[in-house]
Amino acid sequence: MTPAGTDKPIGRSIESSLRILVVDDDAVDRLTVRRALAKSALAAATIEEAADGPSALAALTGSDAGRFDVVLLDYELPGDTGLDVLEEMKERGSTVPVVMLTGQSNPVTVAALMKAGAADFLTKDLVSPERLESVIRVAIRVARAERATRETSERLATTLESIADAVITVNVHGNVTYMNPAAEALTGWPLSEAVGQPFESVAFVVSAEWSDREEQPDLLHQHIAKVTRGLELNVRADMTLVSREGRQLYVDAIARQLRDAGGSGIGAVVALRDITERKRSETALASAHAQLKDQAEQLEQQVDEAAALTEELEQSNDQLLRANEEAEAARKEAEEANKAKSQFLANMSHELRTPLNAIGGYADLLIAEVRGPISDQQRADITRIQRNQHHLLSLINDILNFAKLEAGHVRLTPTTVAMDLILSGLEELIAPQLSQKELRYTYNGCGETYTVYADLERVQQILLNLLSNAAKFTPPGGEISIECEASTDRIDVLVRDTGVGIPPDKLEQIFEPFVQLDRGQSASSMGTGLGLAISRDLARAMGGDLEAKSELDAGSTFVLSLPTKQPAAR
């Protein structure tokens, strides 16, 4: 606290506000002082007096202690207690400057007085107005300067104790002279232990780049040594500090030279700021940023890949379209070629049938002896001609039929017909083949209500083909049977035989044109290989189907399916 009156200037104009306490047991001496002051430039000052130590102390250390600007204290109070009063004043915290009045200036006494805190001394014999004024003025000035310095120091100490940054001072040898509480917390060293220690023992600090470098680590105390010599007045860098407990902290450091009043370097002050948290966030931010960058790059790559893929897809799409167009063109070409082939076959068959019919007609004339009698030998020859003519004619008929079907020239006239009507008349048609090979034939009738929507003649044609195949591929004594099965929308006619059978891998092939299996039949019994192809085409053209099942050497079953109603699409 600033005592009242301390701020009073000590210029000549306002000496009137000065308050001086004169402590002396001798009234004459007190009066001498009063008179000297009255004659001096301090004549307007207020003078109070005390005759002994206790009353002086009471005035100086009481509640109104601050009212005095200076004390003139007699050294030779009763029992030589002047020095005691001075010491007691200092003990009680009084800051009022004290000028000791001594009988004579003994150097030992003077030394003791100055040590006890006297501002100055004056030998009573030498008290003169000028001398007194000068001594008082100097004492007050010095006291005020001291007080100001004390206040500044206190303010500085409070500041240093309350700031968050660590502050460490070192002397010219680099040894710690002071550190604030924040520095104690940062380094882990208490001030009492740290004082006198080399800076690097208390705060071992290396620059952040240290671990990345191969050269000597960049140590803070080396900088400080330069700073104390005044070579480098201010260093600042991101640094790593290893605390007493071994914790690694990031710090920001500033070092400045400390100089005395004369400007000579007396050490350095180092301020360290703990930036560990900031560093961590920066590192986290940097790694997040790097991650984001990576992801962005990956995304870009994916986008590029997707674009490349799209391009590739577009290309293959174009290729597919081209391939499709080519396939379509090839299909059309093949269709055209097929039609041309069928047309050719139809024409050829027609051309062949005319002369064949003529051969048949003339053979008939000869055998009927219209041209005259023939010998037995000739009859046998003509019969052979007739048989081959029939065979050739049936082959040509098959080819013609197939060619017509392929060329789409076959007209169907479907109606609703009772299945039994067709099936019951079949036996009669193949009777010669049955009896020739002594084959048993079974047909037990088909339900009266079983009707199909089909072309009657074509169905007959298909079934006759199936039955003549069955007779052809069943050894003598075997059996052929016909059965009927109905389901919701179709009737299945099953033509069974106990013949040679068909290998499983050929069950589909036999429906292809001109396919004949080598079963060891004589050439004459062989057909064209067109019968089943024609039959299946016809069945399908009527909305039905034809399929085969078989067991080798046990027999075959051909299933002709026909719709019961007119198919909606037809």
**Cβ at position 435, least distance to ligand ADP in Å:** 18
Q: Could you tell me the two tokens for 117?
A: 């805190």
Burial class (CB in 10 A: 0-12, 13-18, 19+), 284: exposed
The contact pattern for ligand ADP, residues 406-445, with x = CB under 6 A and - = no contact, is ----------------------------------------
Q: Which residue from 306, 309, 242, 310 is spatially nearest to 276, judged by alpha carbons? A: 242
Beta strand pairing call for 479-486 and 440-443: parallel
| CB of 205 or CB of 502, closer to ligand ADP | 502
| CB of 258 or CB of 530, closer to ligand ADP | 530
Residue at shortest CB range from ligand ADP: 527
| CB of 245 or CB of 518, closer to ligand ADP | 518
DSSP assignment letter at 3: P
Q: Which of residues 446-475 bind ligand ADP (CB under 6 A)?
A: 465, 469-470, 473
**Cβ at position 566, least distance to ligand ADP in Å:** 28
Stretch that binds ligand ADP, among 78-86, 201-209, 247-255, 493-501 (CB under 6 A): 493-501
The answer to whether 272 and 253 are in contact (CB under 8 A) is yes
**Cβ at position 441, least distance to ligand ADP in Å:** 14
Q: Which of residues 504-563 bind ligand ADP (CB under 6 A)?
A: 510, 515-517, 519, 526-533, 556
Stretch that binds ligand ADP, among 188-196, 259-267, 295-303, 497-505 (CB under 6 A): 497-505
Q: Could you tell me the two tokens for 2?
A: 């600033």
**Cβ at position 543, least distance to ligand ADP in Å:** 21
Burial class (CB in 10 A: 0-12, 13-18, 19+), 134: middle
Question: What is the Cα 36 distance to its own chain's centre?
Answer: 95
Helix (H, G, I), strand (E, B) or coil at 205: strand
Question: Which of 166, 186, 271, 500 is in the footprint of ligand ADP by CB under 6 A?
Answer: 500
| Euclidean distance between CA atoms 109 and 86, whole angstroms | 13
CB atoms < 10 A from the CB of 403, how many? 22
Beta strand pairing call for 265-274 and 248-259: antiparallel
Residue 502 binding ligand ADP, by CB under 6 A: yes
| Euclidean distance between CA atoms 143 and 298, whole angstroms | 77
Binding-site size for ligand ADP (CB under 6 A) equals 22
| CB of 44 or CB of 517, closer to ligand ADP | 517
**Cβ at position 393, least distance to ligand ADP in Å:** 14
| CB of 41 or CB of 410, closer to ligand ADP | 410
| Euclidean distance between CA atoms 569 and 215, whole angstroms | 94
| Euclidean distance between CA atoms 261 and 353, whole angstroms | 144
**Cβ at position 487, least distance to ligand ADP in Å:** 24
Rounded (10°) CA dihedral 410, 416, 418, 419: 40
**Cβ at position 526, least distance to ligand ADP in Å:** 6
The residues binding ligand ADP (CB under 6 A) are 465, 469-470, 473, 497, 499-500, 502, 510, 515-517, 519, 526-533, 556
